[in-house]
């Protein structure tokens, strides 16, 4: 091989080396610049007043991760607090764990110093979410294990919370709340266990899931002390709105006083966390009052 050919190979090799070195430096620069930003945006948004623990759920043959919000004043006073039990805990406090945005419940509660409340968020069971949050099965989607889910809250979780923390444990101080299927199971819980859950926040309830919810309402003795906050958006569909209004009409026919019902039909409201988040403060302020 001639000296000129050797020189050409060296030049080409050097150029290739420099090319990959430049690409390497660019990649490192990219990583050093964007990874901290990505890390920043993936940081938890949960308040310091939010903590988590795991508890056995024998009724469901599993363990449940529970998110708990304690008011800022909890560690500074000896008073007791009403409790909200809420479904889909992954979406309540932390944007990092939420699928499509959080309710920002902790941000709201951190700003108030009256009508304070303990919030207990129950994580949904992922692929078992439909199963847990539906009292009756659907031919297409299955489900129908809601009774065992509620027995877990009623017989295992709530007693643990009431023993461990300073709570106002009576039904009039206990709210169950959720959206979509969570709204459905909250409504069902308030009617089935009125001596445990005296109040319910029923956001965008999936009453379409089974017609049996109407039969259940018709055949249940409605306690006049039960307090229900209903929320629906006009953009969620005409049938969804009419389903909710039909259930409310039936409740009134069965004797639930109108002043025990707060119905909000919001023009332009959509089936999403942003909508539910925006109305949580209003629902909280109304439900927490005796």
Where exactly are the structural domains of the chain?
1-43, 47-287
Strands (E), the chain: 50-57, 62-69, 83-87, 118-122, 174-179, 199-203, 227-233, 261-266
List, for residues 128-183, the tens digit of each pLDDT value. 999 999 999 999 999 999 999 999 999 999 999 999 999 999 999 999 999 999 99
Buried b (16+ CB within 10 A) or exposed e, 26-44: eeeeeeeeeeeeeeeeeee
* 259-283 mean pLDDT: 98
Does the domain at 47-287 match CATH 3.40.50.1820? Answer given as: yes
Report angle CA 106, 111, 112 to the nearest 5 degrees. 105
Strands 62-69 and 118-122: antiparallel
- The token pair that represents 119 in the structure block: 């919030």
- Look at residues 272, 209, 275 and name the one whose alpha carbon lies nearest to residue 240: 209
Tell me what pLDDT residue 99 has. 74
Question: What confidence tens digit (pLDDT) does each residue in 235-253 have?
Answer: 999 999 999 999 999 999 9
DSSP string, 68-120: EE--GGGGT----B-EEEEE-GGGTS-TTT-SS----HHHHHHT--SS--EEE
For residue range 111-128, list pLDDT tens digits in order: 999 999 999 999 999 999
């Amino acid at each position: 091989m001639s000296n000129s050919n050797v020189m050409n190979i060296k030049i080409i090799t050097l150029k290739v080396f420099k090319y990959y070195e430049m690409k390497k430096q660019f990649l490192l620069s990219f990583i050093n610049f964007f990874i901290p930003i990505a890390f920043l945006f993936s940081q938890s948004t949960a308040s310091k007043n939010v903590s988590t623990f795991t508890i056995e759920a024998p009724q469901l043959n599993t363990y449940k991760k529970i998110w708990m919000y304690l008011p800022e004043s909890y560690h500074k006073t000896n008073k007791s607090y009403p409790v909200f039990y809420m479904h889909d805990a992954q979406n309540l406090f932390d944007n990092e764990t939420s699928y499509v945005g959080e309710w920002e419940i902790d941000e709201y509660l951190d700003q108030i110093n009256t009508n304070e409340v303990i919030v207990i968020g129950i994580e949904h069971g992922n692929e078992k979410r439909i199963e847990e949050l539906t009292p009756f099965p659907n031919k297409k989607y299955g489900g129908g294990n809601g009774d065992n889910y509620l027995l877990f809250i009623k017989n295992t979780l709530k007693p643990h919370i009431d023993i461990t923390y300073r709570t106002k444990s009576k039904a009039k101080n206990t709210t169950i709340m959720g959206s979509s299927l969570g709204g459905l199971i909250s409504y069902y819980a308030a009617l089935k266990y009125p001596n445990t859950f005296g109040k319910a926040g029923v956001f965008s309830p999936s009453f379409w899931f089974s017609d049996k919810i109407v039969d259940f309402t018709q055949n249940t003795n409605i306690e006049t002390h039960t307090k229900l906050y209903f929320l629906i958006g006009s953009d969620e569909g005409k049938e969804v709105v009419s389903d909710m209004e039909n259930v409310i009409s039936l409740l009134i026919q069965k004797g639930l006083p109108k002043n025990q019902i707060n119905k909000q039909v919001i023009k332009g409201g959509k089936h999403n966390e942003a909508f539910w988040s925006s109305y949580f403060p209003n629902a909280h302020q109304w439900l927490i009052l005796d």
